[in-house]
Each structure stands twice: as C-alpha cells, then as structure tokens.
Amino acid sequence: MDLTGKVAVVTGSGRGLGLAYASALVAAGAAVVVNDVDEETTEQAVKEIAAAGGRVAGEAVPVGDAEAADRLVGKAVAEFGRLDIMVTNAGILRDRVLWKMSDEDFDDVIRVHLRGTFTCARAAVRQLREQGEGGRLILACSPAGQRGNFGQTNYAAAKAGIAAMARTWAMECAKANITANALVPVAATAMTKTIPAFAPYVQAWEERGEPLPAWLRRGEGFGTAEDVAGLVVYLASDASSGVTGQAIGIGGDKLSLWSHPDEVATAYADGGWDADAIATTWSTSVGKKPESYGIPAPPAPES
C-alpha cells in the first residue's frame, strides 16, 4: 500500500495499538500526527517514528472535548497542509461490575471513547468536506462492544455506540466520498493484559519475547499490535474506497467481518400481542433459539 501524500491523525498513539497504527501508516508513506494525554509519551513516540525516517508531528492533549479535536486536526493542517485519515484510538478503562461502578467511572470512559470519537470525527469530517477530496474515518471498537463483557458496562456501551456511529456516518458522509469503518482489534496490550485468561501469555511475550502460541493466535484471533496495523493501512488506502459502514475484526492470524444487529426471528398475531400471548408463544417461536452474549473465554491449549 502506498499512502504517499496522505496525512493521518491517530489518537492515543503514544504507545500500544495506537503507536503501531501510526508507525505502519508512516511506513506506508503517510505523514502522521501522534497523540497522547502525556507530553513525554507523545514526544517519545514522535522521536521513535522520526528516527525511522517518517514524517511525524505530536500533539499532547486529552481526547474528549471539541477543543482537543480541533487542535489535532489543526496540527495536521499546520504541519502537513491537509488531513486525509482520522484514526480514533484513544481510550481508558475503569472496569467495575454494575453495582460498584461510580458515575465518574462511567463518565470518564464515555467521555474519552464515545465523545472523543464523536468530536474527533466531526472535526475531521469538517476539514475533509472543505478539502473536497474524500477521506477515511477508522474508529476503534472492541469485541466487548459487539457482545458485552463482564465488568465493562461503560466500555462496552461506548464501543457499541462507536460501531453505531460508524454505520451512521457511512451514510451521512457517502456523498463526500468519506468512508467510516469500525476496527475491532484483539491484541496484546496494557488493556488486554488485565484479562486473566490472556495475562500469562502477554507477560511471557513482553518479558521474555516468547511468541504467542498458535492456538491463541488462530483460535482466539489474539496477536500483537503489529498484527492489527495492516488493517488500518488498508482502510486508509485507496484500495478500500468501496468499504464503509463495516465492523471489521483482526488479531493474530484472524481477519473477520462482524454482523450488524438484525432481526433473527419474527412472529405475527392478528390484532397485536398481549403479555399472555407472548408468554404462550415465546419458547416455540421467536424465543426458541436465544442469542448468545459475552466474549467466550479462550480455549484451553491441548496438553
């Protein structure tokens, strides 16, 4: 993929997945604005990418409000003259079960993930429409937003909302040749390191350089941040011009397309449904095969 002449903003790109995305975009020829809430982390990411010969600038600002989004888009235009790609990756975790989750836990996650995606995409689309040459919105989602996950009310809600925004923006931005897609990565990061089933493998990879086992890379679709970055480059490229409104998963050796919510069973009653009629027919009609929920635990390796 050749992204020469393209300019991208990647939020939350000081480390982890975001840094992998920014590095891969630069390697493909794009100029990139990296971002992190911490100034030192942002500067370190800029130095790392620049040392590899990339065109890069940094903007340390907490993603969430409109001012931060405008600063990021403004940085791209000031440093590189334009914007073509917005990758909304910034995120935090405040995991608690429902009855222990505080208002602050909920609001903080929604502000960074959901509101931050909205404000950054809005600022980007305004610039892209003004340029009149199309563009790309690549919005980080999660399996938790597709299926729910224990202890992640705030995170799952935000990520589900982002997937819904991608579908909405695909329609709204189509005439301007701006695509919008939800990226659903699964990778060894500081966030997934907190998941007990993944923790020992992430730790072994980080500390001793042990490769993630094949059963985890293929069976669970769980790999490194670099395994995910190729999808970002593809979605940023001209080759993906016909791909929009999709939720696309990637991780390890696995690439997938997630389904959208749809009616899977229907029943009809003349005159409508009362509670007794629903109770009578539920288990033999629309409720005969309930939908599953939650993220399945990784399969245990064969001994």
Q: What is the CATH number of the domain that holds 232?
A: 3.40.50.720
Position 161 in a domain: yes
Which pLDDT does position 177 carry in this prediction?
98
Position 266 in a domain: no
Active site residue 155: yes
Which pLDDT does position 213 carry in this prediction?
85
Which pLDDT does position 277 carry in this prediction?
96
Position 76 in a domain: yes
Report the number of distinct structural domains present in the chain: 1
Position 46 in a domain: yes
- Residue among 155, 201, 268, 293 flagged as catalytic: 155
Position 302 in a domain: no
DSSP string, the chain: ---TT-EEEETT-SSHHHHHHHHHHHHTT-EEEEEESSHHHHHHHHHHHHHTT--EEEEE--BTBHHHHHHHHHHHHHHHS---EEEE-------B-GGG--HHHHHHHIIIIIIHHHHHHHHHHHHHHHHTS-EEEEEE--HHHHH--TTBHHHHHHHHHHHHHHHHHHHHTGGGTEEEEEEEE-B-STTGGGSTTTHHHHHHHHHH-PPPPHIIIIIS--B-HHHHHHHHHHHHSGGGTT--S-EEEEETTEEEEPPPP--------TT---HHHHHHHGGGTTTSSPPP-SPPPPPPPP-
Which pLDDT does position 298 carry in this prediction?
65
Position 183 in a domain: yes
Tens place of pLDDT for every residue, the chain, 303 residues? 999 999 999 999 999 999 999 999 999 999 999 999 999 999 999 999 999 999 999 999 999 999 999 999 999 999 999 999 999 999 999 999 999 999 999 999 999 999 999 999 999 999 999 999 999 999 999 999 999 999 999 999 999 999 999 999 999 999 999 999 999 999 887 667 777 777 888 888 888 888 888 888 988 898 999 999 999 999 999 999 999 999 999 999 999 999 999 999 999 999 999 999 999 999 999 999 999 999 887 666 655
Containing domain of residue 210, as a range? 7-257
Position 143 in a domain: yes
Which pLDDT does position 265 carry in this prediction?
95
Q: Judge contact between 166 and 130, C-beta under 8 A.
A: no
Position 212 in a domain: yes
Which pLDDT does position 220 carry in this prediction?
84
